[in-house]
Structure 1
């Protein structure tokens, strides 16, 4: 650990039966809790381990158990296939070009799912909803949906409205299950994703490196959790921490998000 740890700045906000304008109302008895504002985050998608004592928020893959004693966010790849899970998807739910599935150019083992029709969106939501419910049943407090911006990699085959419509369905499923729903990245769409899909908070990657944190904090305020990566820092992490646009919840991690027993492991937070 290379820096003094941030303290938790606020008590979680309890949201009872609330959704965004883009979805249907959850049952009145259902409630979910937003992440604690300013809490020290850790991001553990590469492997679960006991978080440092001052950590208040931990993100883990849906295949892992939630971290005990902290606010836990479940990672779900809602708009692309997960590596090793291609066979879970019907072929017609995968975006096709010239008879072949369209892979993410930066993640060649992930295929874009086809959100272009209402029928496909309903079937995608039917596949993803049990994962959401599984996160809730496991004890996670929230869920983040990755690759909301897959339409930008579709060469025009998909549109923001397609992904927005699916996002609203997934957020409703999360709220119905009693957990908060987090936007992942997609800075340019933050306002519409909150207002029309009903997201409660945002998880961002490298918003400080790309100088786009304000796009999230202007929309979500303190409900933004940022992960920076040590291999491509355009300036020091201390400078990023000092930037007033940076979220209060920010962590520096290694790109592969390895566990502490790996020599490539990096974990650093802003000085208090």
Structure 2
């Protein structure tokens, strides 16, 4: 899930066969390169399941799940990976010099989530971090996912004295190259200000949390040719997204904990 504002996150396909047909007949192409792995087609039914997997509801053709869960049979599956921060309690699994440190040498944490921030400030460190995250991306491909969602692209916005936009863009491009090499499309997670950098990052579609709530869906739609998975968390956000984008983008409302169906607090609504 996104760690700023708790902002987590195909023509409508009639079913899995229709989605497959779209993917086969209309591959996504960069302006000056060969066909890239196909992202979700615009407007398809989507479910955001990063808090726990469950059988997709009827009408869902695109499913986003954590990399620890198996992909949903018969769907277009997006694999969630925490790529810019360490998982809570997992900082000891990283080389100490790959953890971002302040002027006093203390590890920098995203306090809202208890996650150590990864140090992207040099090309060498970015390459080492991308190599490890790349193994997770390889695992997504091996399990049968079609795309990957690297989370926390916006970390640099929360620690502007230490990290920059350029660091994030360079690192995202490394992840995109790794994913494309394994046949996976790659999502831009939130961070609307980077949408215009799509050509530099190599990202193929967007997962936009609360873009209806904050009036940002148009920027993502323009940058990614409507290949946008919109995840809202409030009734007002869902209403705003549906009012303008129901016929163009994939829109779903989830509870903020992204709970699996049957759990307390579970919410899922669509347009």
TM-score by length of 1: 0.86
Question: Structure 1 residues 250, 244: CA separation in 2 closer, same or farther (over 3 Å shift)?
Answer: closer
Cα deviation, residue 211, structure 1: 1.1
- Is the Cα contact below 8 Å between 1:182 and 1:203 reproduced in 2? yes
SS at match of 1:32: coil
CA distance in 2, matches of 1:187, 1:159: 15
Paired residue for 1:100, among 102, 106, 113? 106
Question: Structure 1 residues 45, 244: CA separation in 2 closer, same or farther (over 3 Å shift)?
Answer: closer
Paired residue for 1:163, among 164, 168, 183? 168
Paired residue for 2:211, among 203, 207, 214? 207
Question: Structure 1 residues 31, 162: CA separation in 2 closer, same or farther (over 3 Å shift)?
Answer: closer
- Is the Cα contact below 8 Å between 2:220 and 2:226 reproduced in 1? no
Cα deviation, residue 237, structure 1: 2.8
For residue 62 of structure 2, what is the aligned residue in structure 1?
57
Cα deviation, residue 36, structure 1: 2.1
Cα deviation, residue 262, structure 1: 1.3
Cα deviation, residue 89, structure 1: 1.0
For residue 6 of structure 2, what is the aligned residue in structure 1?
none
- Is the Cα contact below 8 Å between 1:19 and 1:175 reproduced in 2? no
Cα deviation, residue 81, structure 1: 1.0
> Which structure shows the bigger proportion of residues in strand conformation?
1
For residue 53 of structure 2, what is the aligned residue in structure 1?
48
For residue 116 of structure 2, what is the aligned residue in structure 1?
111
TM-score by length of 2: 0.86
Q: CA RMSD in A?
A: 2.2
Cα deviation, residue 246, structure 1: 8.8
Q: Which runs of 5+ in 1 are unaligned?
A: 1-5
Question: Structure 1 residues 20, 165: CA separation in 2 closer, same or farther (over 3 Å shift)?
Answer: farther
Moved more, 241-250 or 125-134: 241-250
CA distance in 2, matches of 1:79, 1:57: 24
CA distance in 1, matches of 2:106, 2:31: 36
Task: Check if 1:225 corresponds to 2:229.
Answer: yes
Q: Which runs of 5+ in 2 are unaligned?
A: 1-10
How many pairs were matched up?
252
CA distance in 2, matches of 1:20, 1:82: 36
Cα deviation, residue 14, structure 1: 2.2
Cα deviation, residue 20, structure 1: 8.4
Cα deviation, residue 105, structure 1: 3.5
SS at match of 1:128: helix
Question: Structure 1 residues 46, 211: CA separation in 2 closer, same or farther (over 3 Å shift)?
Answer: same
Cα deviation, residue 213, structure 1: 1.0
For residue 131 of structure 1, what is the aligned residue in structure 2?
136
For residue 266 of structure 1, what is the aligned residue in structure 2?
267
CA distance in 2, matches of 1:247, 1:221: 10
CA distance in 1, matches of 2:246, 2:69: 32
Paired residue for 1:74, among 79, 89, 92? 79
Question: Structure 1 residues 213, 80: CA separation in 2 closer, same or farther (over 3 Å shift)?
Answer: same
For residue 251 of structure 2, what is the aligned residue in structure 1?
250
